[in-house]
Amino acid sequence: MLRLSSIESPKLTTDNRQLTTDNIPMKRTLYAALILFLVLHNDFWWWDEDRFLLGLPVGLTYHLLYCLALTVLFWLLVRWAWPDDLDGQDAPQRPQAGGPQQ
């Protein structure tokens, strides 16, 4: 029987990311993009629009594309703007195999 405590979780590494001050312009750009996305979320310019785009109302299509773009932005934020001091923290310790079972 396979026990969960015997499975090792993969370690996240930052090998491809430079951990220097070179990331500061990228971080500022991503934070500015996040603020821009917060403003663009209120799409008052589509409220009175009756057209359809991709088979959906224009406002719904806008939010669909908005969510896809925001997903990419959040991935970039995690990739480039994640605080370095959080990378070294270990996951909580799991009980050893053969320990008390509940």
CA dist 14 and 80 (Å) reads 10
d(CA 57, CA 2) in angstroms, rounded, equals 50
Give the C-alpha separation, 63 to 54, whole Å. 12
Residue 67 confidence (pLDDT): 95
For 2-95, list the strands marked E by DSSP. 52-53, 56-57
Domain boundaries, the chain: 34-83
Q: pLDDT 10s per residue in the chain (102 long)? A: 445 444 444 444 455 554 445 678 888 899 999 999 999 888 888 888 889 988 999 988 999 999 999 999 999 988 888 877 666 655 555 556 665 655
Residue 91's alpha-carbon distances to 8, 50, 97, 102, in angstroms, are: 11, 51, 17, 21
Helices 24-40/58-81 angle, 10° precision: 160
Q: So what's the pLDDT on residue 6? A: 47
